[in-house]
Amino acid sequence: MAGPDAQALAPEPISAEELSDAFVSFERASAELGEFYSNLEAEVGLLSEQLRSANERREAELEEKQRVAARLSSLLEALPGGVIVLDANGSITQFNPAADTLVGKLSCGEAWRDVVARVVAPRWDDGHDVSLRDGRRVNIATQALSGEPGQILLIKDVTETRRLQEQLHQHKRLSSSTQMAAALAHQIRTPLAAALLHCSNLSGAGGSAPERSAARVRESLKTLETLVENMLTFARGRELDVERTSSAALIEALAQGVNALALPESFSVELPDDAPAVALAVNIESLVSALMNLVGNVRQVTDDHARVAVTCNEAAGMFEIAIRDDGPGIPDADQVQIFEPFFSTRARGTGLGLAVARSIALAHGGDLQLAESSASGTCFILELPVATANAQPIHSGETDR
């Protein structure tokens, strides 16, 4: 028989009503759990469908990127120009067959500076192009990579282009030969006639008249000499003997040429004393002649009443000589023709001064351009390439004509 404690621990009997409520609560909880599971299952299904769609899109995008990459690779392979990709350290990461053909024996990981040292042989007349050791010339353009450090090099073989340009210059010179001969005969006749006339005055004159006539003879003969030199320079075209020298030597030679003119007080030429010190591979005599032609033009236009200022500058591998005057300027209508042979606005002008000056500049791998012109004066700029340490000058007979 159980004691009092056992009776106290025995559970109280559950009534039918409480049992019914418990079953109702259980059924409600079961229904809620089933609904939650159904909702969870539906959400999982939706997420699975979204994931499948996202994967399909990603796979489609990946396939499209692979197709684009394949097309770009095929295009890169087919390009006639060389393409080289460099990383942030200047090492080659990719190149196409054209680049390998142009530059020769490239390899990924090789430093571009080592390639340059191996294949490049600079020449004094390169300009914006690059000479290779095998004699070809290429043009190299650079473009920064988008979104990452590095560069793309675009290399184009311009050997044939340079040859055709030289042929075009030669054809232009040849096409002017008939006109040149006629102009030469006409222009020589006038100073020669004046020289003969004044020489005849010397024979029977005395006092100061012979001295005046002698001065006029010298002036006429000097004009004739300049004309003949211009004709010969223009006819020779790009054949020049050059030597390695300095910008200071060129300015000094120009100063000597100016001093030899015995200029009147109404005409002055100011030369720079602070020109950039650079190395040049040039023919000093021809360059001084070109610059003196510019000074001579100013003298003729202004009747020896002008101020000429010569300044120098170095920019982008070019040595620039600016010749600025305070003359009347060049009319707009004439500016497009001033470098054409035999074009002149003066009745007694030969039209060769600027043409010869520019021809000399081009022969050095530079150029002569009209920088500005107005009623207050004119400025020409003669550009010359700065000589590199291992540049090899071209001498007469080596020029491809």
CATH of the domain at 343: 3.30.565.10
Q: Which CATH number goes with the domain that contains 204?
A: 1.10.287
Residues 143 and 224 occupy one common structural domain:
no
Band of pLDDT at residue 127, cut at 50, 70 and 90: confident
Q: Are residues 220 and 300 in the same domain?
A: no
Residue 219 and residue 173 share a domain? yes
The answer to whether the CB of 101 falls within 8 A of the CB of 80 is no
Neighbours of 362 (CB within 10 A): 17
Tell me the residue range of the domain where 264 lies: 239-401
Contact 257, 288 (CB under 8 A): yes
Q: 338 and 304 share a domain?
A: yes
Tokens of 253: 């030679």
Residue 214: the pLDDT is 67
State whether 248 and 386 are in the same domain.
Answer: yes
Q: Are 27 and 138 found together in one domain?
A: no
pLDDT at 395: 41
Q: Tell whether 309 and 168 lie within a shared domain.
A: no
Residue 394 near residue 400, CB atoms below 8 Å: no
Q: What Rg, from alpha-carbon coordinates, does the chain have?
A: 43
Residue 7 domain-assigned (yes or no):
no
Q: Which of 76, 105, 121 is the last residue of a domain?
A: 76
Asked, for residue 3, whether it belongs to a domain, the answer is no
Residues of the chain with pLDDT > 90, as a percent, come to: 25
Q: How many domains does the chain have?
A: 4
* pLDDT tens for each residue of 277-298: 999 999 888 898 889 889 988 8
Distance CA 26, CA 232 (A): 118
Report residue 7's pLDDT band, with 50, 70 and 90 as the boundaries.
low
pLDDT of res. 234: 60
Tell me, yes or no, whether 192 lies in a domain: yes
Domain assignment present for 169: yes
Same domain, 141 and 261: no
pLDDT of residue 400: 36
The span from the first CA to the last CA of the chain, in angstroms, equals: 137
Looking at the structure, tell me whether residues 308 and 212 fall in a common domain: no
pLDDT in tens, 128-137: 888 998 889 9
Statement to judge: residues 382 and 322 lie in one domain: yes
- Domain match, 62 and 182 both: no
- Confidence at 230, pLDDT banded by 50, 70, 90: low
| Residue carrying the six token digits 């004044």 | 198
Instruction: Name the band, by pLDDT with cuts 50, 70 and 90, for residue 272.
Output: very high
Task: State which H helix or E strand residue 112 sits in.
Answer: helix 112-119
Is position 2 within any domain?
A: no
Q: What is the reported pLDDT for 251?
A: 94
Q: How confident is the model at residue 397 (pLDDT cuts 50, 70, 90)?
A: very low
Give the CATH number of the domain where residue 121 resides: 3.30.450.20
- Residues recorded for the chain: 401
**Who has greater pLDDT, 300 or 369?**
369
pLDDT tens string 308-358: 999 999 988 999 999 999 989 988 888 888 888 777 766 556 667 788 888
Confidence of residue 396 (pLDDT cuts 50, 70, 90): very low
Query: What string of DSSP letters covers 232-284?
Result: HHHHHTT----EEEEHHHHHHHHHHHHHTT---TTEEEE--SS----EEEE-H
User: How much of the chain is helix, strand and coil, in % rounded to 5?
Assistant: 50, 20, 30
Q: What's the burial of 315, exposed, middle or buried (CB within 10 Å: 0-12/13-18/19+)?
A: exposed
Q: What is the pLDDT of residue 184?
A: 65
Same domain, 199 and 310: no
Mean pLDDT throughout 58-80? 78
Q: Which of 50-54, 212-216, 241-245, 346-350 has the lowest mean pLDDT?
A: 346-350
Cα–Cα distance, 299 to 253 (Å, whole number): 20
Residue at 6 is within a domain: no
Tell which of 190, 218, 236 closes a domain: 236
Whether residue 11 lies inside any domain: the answer is no
Q: Which residue has the higher pLDDT, 52 or 202?
A: 52
Last residue of a domain, one of 76, 103, 123: 76
Would residue 34 be called left, alpha or beta, if left means φ above 0 and alpha means ψ between -120 and 50 degrees? alpha
Distance (Å, rounded) from C-alpha 67 to C-alpha 44?
Answer: 34
Q: Say which residues have a Cβ less than 8 Å from residue 40's Cβ, sequence separation at least 6.
A: none
- Look at residue 320 in the predicted model and tell me its pLDDT: 96
* Model pLDDT for residues 143-198, shown as the tens digit of each residue: 998 888 999 999 999 989 888 887 787 677 656 665 665 566 556 766 766 776 76
Residue 9 located in a structural domain: no
